[in-house]
Structure 1
Amino acid sequence: MIEPQTLTFLKKLKKNNNKPWFDEHRAQYEAARIDFSNFIQLLIDALQLKDTTITGMTSRECMFRINRDIRFSKDKQPYKTNFGASIKRGGRKSGFAGYYFHLEPGNSFIGGGLWMPEPAALKNVRQEIDYNWEEFQAILKERNFKKTYGDLYMGEGMSLSTTPKGYEKDNPAATYLKLKVFIAETAVTDEELVKASLHKKTLTAFEALQPLLNFINTAIDV
């Protein structure tokens, strides 16, 4: 579970996204970050029993900084108003697909996959889907995946407008070949965040995602 004070801090940060306020409340930030870090470490410790690619990983290797990169952004707010952690082989900056937990009051979710891959990795994943379409379909139709995620995320900007070069328009996998990212997610309410059942809910969601991650990472790791 996540401590209610952690949610309170993030809510207040959203209303006071400036350095003077943050500096004044640094102790609360540190407490909130430790709380989130402890939760992520518990997930890693349990998840690595079924996914050996993350064996020995620490939450520190997976968590993102709260500072925003504002160099090329019109939005000059200095801090993110969420905590995020990407649990995957090689740590959060690696090019592999992995598990993700997003903590943001009113907009938290569990999920994962492959986000904005390099061109070579994207090409390999599309090829893997085309070559092994029946296997890929079976992963997405698996009962636990379907129940948890429904399908891959296909929001605005996630797909090409046409089938990528080298694939016919009537390819049965066309919908997925158009994707530029391969992720799935399921929402978590603020009420669920502060319950002891959050740990089990998250592990169950991650375990449902694991076959998809294995499929994607097999394509990348060639």
Structure 2
Amino acid sequence: MNNTALIPESSLDFLIQLKENNNKQWFEAHKPEYLNELKHIEAFADALLEELAKTDVLETPSGKKSVYRIYRDIRFSKDKTPFKTFWGGSFTRATKARRGGYYFHLEQGNSFLAGGFWGPNAADLKRIRSEFAHDAEPMRKILNSKTFISTFGTLQGEQLKTAPKGYDVHHEAIDLLRYKQFLVIKRFEDNEVLNPDFLEQATETLKNMRPFFDYMSEVLTTDINGASVL
């Protein structure tokens, strides 16, 4: 593993200061500190991308390109603070055959790794539900596996309070049919993020998403008969 990809305590500390001084004047005065900490995050993202690329195909060209801008888009937000108070980034799985993506979020007391489908469009959501209704067992097998439970616990994401249109509330797969988002998340304590083996833990966590991703990719690139739609 890459020893230059450690997350230093100063990277989390900078975010605490930014949260307390979320204004352009303070940020400009501390821009050199920000750029220094950003280098650490980009190095971590580069190393994580390198590890993921050993077992998956990703279209994100570099760790630097994966890291989100610190500047918030406040045009349509009631919250007018100009800066994000976390380090975040994502890696997109390449080609239409590999659906979904990986995400990392680093913040004091709120660090996590996640993956899945945050806002599936209507057609994708319809296709996923049709598959669950037809045969939910493959998905249940993934969600009930020891690795999934020990890493992520349960499938997460917004759910309907009742059955989606066209499905009976007593359908045997109603628990899965209610999902509007399909997310897998693992949270980390600050001491874990700052630990020298965090890159290894992060890599293992994201690799453990693969059965979920592979299943969802297959569903979203085939019709209900299993024929390719690509």
> TM-score, normalized by length of structure 2?
0.87
Counterpart for residue 36 of structure 1: 41
2:82 corresponds in structure 1 to: 78
Shift of 1:79: 0.7
**Whole-Å Cα distance in 1 between the matches of residues 59 and 50 of structure 2?**
8
| Deviation readout 1:94-140 (Å, 9 max, x if unpaired) | x9411111111111011211101221222222223333311101111
Deviation at 1:57, TM superposition (A): 3.2
Residue 64 in structure 1 maps to residue 79 in structure 2: no
Partners in 1 of 2:60 and 2:80 — Cα distance?
A: 37
Which whole-Å CA distance do the structure 1 matches of 2:148 and 2:125 have between them? 22
| Residues 68 and 87, structure 2, Cα contact 8 Å, conserved in 1 | yes
Rg: which structure is higher? 2
Q: How far 1:4 moved relative to its partner?
A: 1.2
Say whether residues 1:101 and 2:79 are aligned partners: no
CA distance in 2, matches of 1:63, 1:191: 22
Q: Does 1:11 align with 2:16?
A: yes
Q: For residue 140 of structure 1, what is the aligned residue in structure 2?
A: 143
Separation of aligned partners in 2, 1:71 and 1:56: 27
Q: Secondary structure in 2 aligned to 1:54?
A: coil
Q: In angstroms, what is the RMSD of aligned CA positions? A: 1.9
**Cα distance in 2, alignment partners of residues 90 and 79 from structure 1:** 30
Is the contact between residue 114 and residue 183 of structure 1 (CA under 8 Å) also seen in structure 2?
Answer: yes
1:47 aligned onto 2:52: yes
Which residue of 1 is the match for residue 3 of structure 2? none
Q: Secondary structure at the match of 2:204?
A: helix
Give the 3 Å change call, closer, same or farther, for CA 28–90 of structure 1 in structure 2: farther
1:27-62 superposed Cα distances (whole Å, 9 cap, x missing partner): 1111122211111111111111111x2167312332
The count of residues paired between Structure 1 and Structure 2 equals 215
For residue 69 of structure 2, what is the amino acid of its counterpart?
R
d(CA) in 2 for partners of 1:111, 1:25 = 30
**Given the two structures, how large is their TM-score scaled by the length of structure 1?**
0.90
User: Would you say the 8 A contact 2:93–2:99 is kept in 1?
Assistant: yes
Identity %: 35
Q: Counterpart of 1:13 in structure 2: which amino acid?
A: L
Matching of residue 87 in structure 1 with residue 126 in structure 2: no
Q: Distance in 2 between matches of 1:165 and 1:102?
A: 34
Distance 2:18 2:129 in 1: 40
